[in-house]
Structure formats: C-alpha cells, structure tokens
Amino acid sequence: MRVPFRAAARKRMAVWVRRRQGVDTLPVMLARRRLYILPTRAGLTFGSLWILMLLAALNYGNSLALFFTFLLAGFALVAMNDCHRNLLGITLASVSAPAVFARSAGALALTLENPAARARPGVEAALDEAPLTGVDLAPHGRGRLELPLLPARRGIVRIDRVRLTSSHPFGLFRTWTWVHLPIEVLVYPHPHGSLPRPITSGRHPGESSRDGSGLDEWMGLKLFRDGDSPRQVDWKAYAREAPLMVKEYSPAGADLCLFDFAQLRIPGVEERLSQLARWVVDAEAGGERYGLALPGVELAPNRGPEHRHHCLAALALYGIEAPAASAAQPAAAAPLHA
C-alpha cells in the first residue's frame, strides 16, 4: 500500500526541520531563523484576485486601478510582516504533562511569555495535525495553553514536537514553528471493573495498642480542627511557630486492602490492570489504606495522593520498559525541562 504523497512529504519535512533545529531545551525563544511563513487559502485567493486586477489595470492603462492594485500589494506586505512579528521573540517557558487515565480527556499545558511591549493576539498551538488552541498575550505578559490529549492505551505517550503558529492580523498568512522537546505523558490504565475489593484485617493476633489510647499506627500530621483531642496536638512543632497540627494514627482494627494481580481470576492482562486501577481509585476516594502486588512489584499499604500515583504508575508501566523518571513523576506533574 503506497503512502499518500501528502503524508510522505509531511514526514520528510518533519525530519528536515528536526535536523535543522535540533532538540530544544526550555525555555525556548522563537528566533527569526526558526519561523516559517506561507500564505493561507485566503491569502492565495487574495493573491489570485490581485493578479487579475493588475492584468486588467495594465490592459486598460487605468492609473487609478494601478494605484489601487499597488496599494493592495503594500497592504499584503504589511500583513505578512505583522504576521511574522506576532510570533517572533515569544518564549515557551514551561511544559507540564499531568498523568491521565486511558480513554479519558487530558491536557498538555504550555506557558508562553511575551517579552515585548506590544500585545500578541491570536497565538495558537497544537500537537501535529490536532485542532489549534489559541491565547492572546498581553504586553510583557504570559498565557497558558492546554492542548487536548485523549490516549487510548496505558503506558507512556511520547510527544516529539509541538507546533506554535499564528495567522494574525488578517488571516492572509500563517507563520509557524516546531518546538522539539522530549515530553512524556504517563497514562494510567482505564479504571473499570465490578468485582468487590478484597479486605484484609489490619489487626494481627495478640496485637495491642501501643499508647493505650486506642490509636495504633502512626499516619502523619493533619491540621487541627474543632473537636480534636489536645493530647494529640504536636506541641513541639507549635512551639517552633508551626501551624497547630494533630498527630494522626490509624485504628488498630482498621482494615487494609491488598490488591494482588495474581489473585484476580479475570482473563486478560489489561482487564486485570483495569480492575486493579478501579480498586485503587475507589479505595483512595474512601480514605482507606491499600497496597498493591504485581509480579516483581509490591507496594506496602498506605494512602494519599502520592501513594495513589505510585500504585497507578506501577499499573501503567506493568510489562512496559520505561524510564524510572516517568514512574516517579508526581501526579500533579511539575513543568518538564529537557
């Protein structure tokens, strides 16, 4: 099956642009040599009409028609220059790629900065041939663009390049550039399944409370609220001018959830991972402590956003060779730097 000419030409152009520009590192300033500009369909139509007007004016020797024709030519040149200047000097300051569930809408967030004293309206961005998302940049201001993502499968989605473009002011020309960054988006398995969660009691035979207060295992600190016992306040931290915090323990008889891949009687690896992801999401939403057991990976029972991310990341990368940095990426996803 032959590759369509347009797709093949686009691929060759992408290879040439990447070889010409190389791999970028943040922050990326859009310099003059990396900006490309071509007329749009409206610009080509304008140019065709301009040629017809010029031929008619020359044919009839009409001075007024010639004046109007060259006036339109000057207008087109000014529009081309302004379109090119609208991207020139803009800085891509940061890129953040929060983890997302498979088959769920996510977003790649870009932060653009305008160092100039003039506004930059109609700045747009997209991933390859995806729909454009636009923002208006104020003088010496910054703006945020969120490019939609809809990953179909778990794992790591690698984004090789981002397109920045603009057709301001009149839509007759479009200037654009490509930014090549090693962006990786972690995709959790799609949480799906209806099996009940397995429960393992957290109380062991002969276990007794350590402090006599009915509270057993240390969990951490939380902000003081009305009704909390003064005996649980961390007075040492408060003496150091820290906020009033309360020591939090888990009940000695609290239940622990252990989600074991090997214990699932579901055909198919992806179906098992989806069920485990559903259990992790539900257990975290219910404030329960849960652990995860995969072949070669075991996470001790815990709770909290970080533990939730580690469990879901382990499910996302199961059977996939991936950089360790992707698995350690926090759920909120800090800005990426090449």
CATH of the domain at 21: 2.60.40.10
Q: In terms of domains, do 171 and 57 share one?
A: yes
d(CA 220, CA 127): 42
Other C-beta atoms closer than 10 Å to the C-beta of 103 total 16
Tens digit of each residue's pLDDT, the chain (338 residues) = 455 777 788 788 888 888 888 888 889 999 999 999 999 999 999 999 999 999 999 998 889 999 999 999 999 999 999 999 999 999 999 999 899 999 988 899 999 999 999 999 999 999 987 889 999 999 999 999 999 988 989 999 999 899 999 999 999 999 999 999 989 999 999 999 888 888 664 444 333 334 434 445 555 666 767 666 677 777 777 677 677 777 665 554 455 788 988 888 888 899 999 999 999 999 888 888 899 999 988 998 888 889 999 999 999 999 886 444 444 444 444 345 43
Q: For residue 115, is it within any domain?
A: yes
Give domain status of residue 24, yes or no: yes
Looking at the fold, whether 48 and 156 belong to one and the same domain comes out as yes
Number of folded domains in the chain? 3
**Two tokens at 62?**
């009409």
Q: Give yes or no: residues 161 and 305 share one domain.
A: no
State the residue range of the domain holding 127.
Answer: 17-187
Question: Does residue 9 belong to any structural domain of this protein?
Answer: no
Is residue 207 in some structural domain? no
196 plus 219 within the same structural domain:
no
Indicate whether 244 belongs to any domain.
Answer: yes
102 and 53 housed in the same domain: yes
Nearest CA among 253, 272, 132 for reference residue 195: 272
Q: What's the CA dihedral at 186, 191, 195, 199 to 10 degrees?
A: 50
216 within domain boundaries: yes
Q: Indicate if 52 and 146 belong to the same structural domain.
A: yes
Contacts of 152 (CB under 8 A, 6+ apart): 102, 103
- Whether residues 127 and 160 fall in one domain: yes
Is residue 224 located within the same domain as residue 247?
yes
Q: What is the CA radius of gyration of the chain?
A: 29
Residues 46 and 141 in one domain: yes
Same domain? 234 vs 103: no
Same domain, yes or no: 58 and 174:
yes
Q: Shortest CA distance to 313 belongs to which of 188, 131, 222?
A: 188
b/e burial code for range 172-202 (CB count within 10 A of at least 16 → b): bbbbbbbbbbebbbbbbbbbebeeebeeeeb
pTM of the model: 0.73
